[in-house]
Amino acid sequence: MSQIKYRLHRWNQYPFMTVGLIAIMVLVYGAMTVSGGSTNVNVLITYGAKVNALIQQGEWWRLATPMFLHIGFTHILMNMITLYFVGMQIEAAFGHTRFLVMFLVSGIGGNIASFCFSDSLSAGASTAIFGLFGAFMMLGESFWQNPVISQLARTFMAFVVMNIAFDVFTPGIDLAGHIGGLAVGFLVAYTVGVPRIGRVSPVKRVVATVVLIGGLVWLYLHGMAQ
């Protein structure tokens, strides 16, 4: 019995959600490559890239599918490396289910922000990854007295600032999606809570949830009205 408990504990500590997401994205990238190439616009559209006109025509699922697509080898390589190292820490802190919820909601939220503020075709897990950065910011705000968490939060804040500064001066980068994902990740981290580390104020959780839902609905409706 003790051996079974030990194996279950080891499995529970393994970042299988992070690894599973990476595996799915690599498989999708392989399928896109076989279909004509991940940089081919027609392939990207076929597989579900964010195209505002198509979303406005009713293809709302394009607010979710872009986070599983990547444009070129460098794009997926950098995103998967980042997702692995950031994801395994967030998954360990929040737990598997909460991590997955934050990743998916941040990805969708970032794509909704992109839909509202950017007309460009876009794809990539960056919206969701920035949401994980936002979760680190939430940890830093809620548990600032913990020196380890505080240091990690400062490190990732510096990383986020550098990335956003890079985005501003780099053409073709979906800045709206990145900032949207960051904000959504920060809010949804409060919503789901982090019982593995400590208690989050119920007031903060309620306020974050209201702002999160209200903000996403407003962005979506604004994008549809354009």
Count other C-beta atoms under 10 Å from residue 97's C-beta. Answer: 11
- Tell me the Cα Rg of the chain: 18
DSSP string, 62-122: GGTGGGG--SSHHHHHHHHHHHHHHHHHHHHHH-HHHHHHHHHHHHHHHHHHHHHH--S-B
**pLDDT tens per residue, range 177-207:** 999 999 999 999 999 999 999 999 999 999 9
Q: What's the CA gap between 15 and 21, in Å, rounded? A: 10
Structure confidence by residue, pLDDT tens digits, 54-71 = 999 999 999 999 999 999
* pLDDT per position as a tens digit, 93-114: 999 999 999 999 999 999 999 9
Pure H helices in the chain: 2-13, 16-35, 41-47, 52-56, 73-94, 96-117, 126-142, 147-168, 175-192, 202-225
What is the chain's mean pLDDT, rounded? 91
pLDDT digits (tens, 9 = 90+) for 148-176: 888 888 888 887 888 788 777 777 788 99
| pLDDT of residue 144 exceeding 90 | no
Domain ranges of the chain: 2-225
Residue 133: name the closest of 78, 66, 83, 74 by CA.
Answer: 83
Question: What pTM did the predictor assign?
Answer: 0.91
Reading phi first (left if > 0) and then psi (alpha if -120 to 50, else beta), residue 141 is in alpha
Catalogue the active-site residues: 126, 178
Residue of 68, 70, 103 lying closest to 87 (CA atoms): 103
Residue 138 pLDDT level (bands cut at 50, 70, 90) = very high
| Residue 158: per-residue pLDDT | 83
For residue 126, CA distances in Å to 7, 23, 206, 217 come to 33, 16, 27, 21
Mean pLDDT across the stretch 76-104? 95
Topology of domain 2-225, per CATH?
A: Rhomboid-like fold (1.20.1540)
Would the pLDDT of 52 be above 90? yes
